[in-house]
Amino acid sequence: MNLLDDGTVNPEKPLNVYWIMFENNGEKKNLNFLQRKLAYGYHVTKSDGYEFEIQLVSYKKRRIFIALDDQGEYKAYMLINGTTAVLKNIFVYANESGAFPSVEYVEMFGENELEDKVVYEKISI
C-alpha cells in the first residue's frame, strides 16, 4: 500500500509495484514505462463501498478492492480461488525475450481472515 504522510492511501498510486531482484540480494527496482503499461501495471478508480478499485493490466478480469478494516487499517481485498481474501502478494511471470513482455501466468497469495487460512491461485494467461 502506498500511504501519504497523513496515513491515507495515495489516490494516484495506491499500490507500490516493483521488481524484487533476488540475484541482487533482494534489491527492489521500479518498473519502467513498458513494464507498467504492458505487463505489471494497474488502473485505479474510486469504488462504491471501497476506497479504490484496482484493475491489473495483465489480467483485467480480476479486481482488487482497497478498504479500511475494523481496526482502521487499509487492506487490499481480492477474490482468490473463489474466496474473498486479504491480498498479500501478486507475482506476475512474463517472458521478456521478445520486444515486449508477454505475461504467462499470475500467482496470487492471500489470507482468508474468517477461517484464518492461506489462499493461493495461479492463473495462466
Distances (CA, A) of 112 to 44, 55, 84, 86: 24, 21, 7, 6
Q: How far apart are CA 95 and CA 114, in angstroms?
A: 36
Residue-wise pLDDT for 73-102, tens only, equals: 889 999 999 999 999 988 878 777 777 767
Residue-wise pLDDT for 1-49, tens only, equals: 888 999 888 888 888 888 887 778 989 999 888 888 877 889 998 776 6
